[in-house]
Amino acid sequence: MFKKILYPTDFSDVSKKALEFVKGLKEAGAEEVVILHIVDMRHFTGPDIGSALDLAMLEEAMENRAALEIEALEKELTKCGFTVKTRVEHGIPFREVLRIEEEEDVSITVIGSHGKSNLKEMFLGSVSEMVIRKAKKPVIVVKR
Amino acid sequence: MFKKILYPTDFSDVSKKALEFVKGLKEAGAEEVVILHIVDMRHFTGPDIGSALDLAMLEEAMENRAALEIEALEKELTKCGFTVKTRVEHGIPFREVLRIEEEEDVSITVIGSHGKSNLKEMFLGSVSEMVIRKAKKPVIVVKR
């Protein structure tokens, strides 16, 4: 029921709270965690943004930062006894989460209610909302 | 983290799937389950409906049916080793779920993505959506 967990993260504080839930599922039979981060470059395209070279450098910097964060998460979960797989994908976050949910055939997804870019006023972040609506398997929503 | 679970149910098939999740959390440290059912009379008020007496009889019949269903759920969860509390409330379902979530100070809510009255075409039922949005604590959404 909780065997293989999908844990999408944008490294926000709510994502960190969700991580505690992932750990808590170990005793309920969770064995494997897929840590997923999506590099979303949509905010950086438009007339104001510099050259394609700048964009490529920015994307590389984001990937490098993500790699460091994910490495730390991987260590933390491995120490808890999980088998850990990490994935960094590019695209529209909710679509990637749903795609990986199916591709990895996970048992459950554990997600924070809000991402980094979500407004304080929103009750639910847009990525989380779409994931909850369209996920095939159960979703644990951890609130901020 | 999973110590005290709120399990709202309208006795639908998805609610039954959610019950399996509740059971699965036993190994993760869950101890107590609050089974909650809400008698919602809103659909039965209006000019087409009969007398106040008919309504009172209908409400009583719904309560009696709920009591039977809840008793069966209580037995099932007790057998799994949970301490079980049952509540039948009257009102608007999502408001009652949120009120009881706070009043009972639960650790987590386990809810089906759809209730009995929700359309097949909807990705998420209206009660579940409001509960996910406004809950103070984490919510496990079990999909149909």
DSSP secondary structure string for all residues of A30-67: --EEEEEEEE--GGG-STTS--HHHHHHHHHHHHHHHH
Tell me how far apart the alpha carbons of residues B56 and B62 are, in angstroms, rounded to a whole number: 10
Mean pLDDT of A82-88: 97
Tell me how far apart the alpha carbons of residues A104 and A107 are, in angstroms, rounded to a whole number: 9
Q: What is the pLDDT of residue A45?
A: 67
Among the listed residues B61, B77, B105, the one whose alpha carbon sits nearest the alpha carbon of residue B9: B77
Name the region of A9 (left: φ>0; alpha: ψ -120 to 50; beta: rest).
beta
- What confidence tier does B48 reach under pLDDT thresholds 50, 70, 90? low
- What confidence tier does A31 reach under pLDDT thresholds 50, 70, 90? very high
What digits encode the pLDDT tens for the residues B4-17? 999 999 999 999 99
Q: How far is C-alpha A110 from the chain's CA centre?
A: 9
| The two three-digit tokens of residue B24, written as one number | 């699965």
pLDDT at A77 over 80: yes
Tell me how far apart the alpha carbons of residues B92 and B79 are, in angstroms, rounded to a whole number: 31
Tell me how far apart the alpha carbons of residues A88 and A70 are, in angstroms, rounded to a whole number: 9
Q: Taking CB atoms and an 8 Å cutoff, what residues of chain A touch B29?
A: 24, 27
Identify whether the C-beta of residue B6 lies closer than 8 Å to the C-beta of residue B113. no
Query: H helices within chain A, ranges in order?
Result: 13-24, 52-79, 93-103, 126-134
Average pLDDT of every residue of chain A? 91
| The two three-digit tokens of residue A141, written as one number | 């929503």
Q: What is the chain A residue with the closest CA to B133?
A: A123
Overall number of domains in chain B: 1
Q: How close, in Å, is residue B74 to chain A by CA atoms?
A: 21
What digits encode the pLDDT tens for the residues A117-132? 777 778 899 999 999 9
pLDDT at B49 over 80: no
Q: Is the pLDDT higher at A67 or at B56?
A: A67
DSSP 3-state of A112: strand
pLDDT at B69 over 80: yes
pLDDT at B93 over 70: yes
Tell me how far apart the alpha carbons of residues A95 and B24 are, in angstroms, rounded to a whole number: 28
Q: What is the pLDDT of residue A40?
A: 87
- Return all residues near A37 (Cβ < 8 A) that are at least 6 apart: A8, A9, A10, A11, A66, A69, A70, A87, A88, A89
Average pLDDT of every residue of chain B? 91
CATH code of the domain containing A55: 3.40.50.620
Mean pLDDT of A18-45: 91
What digits encode the pLDDT tens for the residues B20-39? 999 999 998 999 999 999 99
Specify the range with the lowest mean pLDDT, choosing from A54-63, B58-67, B87-96: A54-63
What digits encode the pLDDT tens for the residues A19-29? 999 999 999 89
DSSP single-letter state for residue A1:
-
Whether A28 contacts chain B with CB within 8 A: yes
Domain carrying residue B102: 4-142
Identify whether the C-beta of residue A140 lies closer than 8 Å to the C-beta of residue A111. yes
Whether A141 contacts chain B with CB within 8 A: yes
Place of tokens 């159960």: A138
Whether B123 contacts chain A with CB within 8 A: yes
Q: Quick check: B143 and A138 CB within 8 A?
A: yes
Tell me how far apart the alpha carbons of residues B24 and B30 are, in angstroms, rounded to a whole number: 9
Mean pLDDT of A49-69: 84
Q: How close, in Å, is residue B75 to chain A by CA atoms?
A: 22
Q: What is the pLDDT of residue B45?
A: 67
Buried b (16+ CB within 10 A) or exposed e, B110-143: bbbbbbeebeeeeebbebbbbbbbbbebbbbbbb
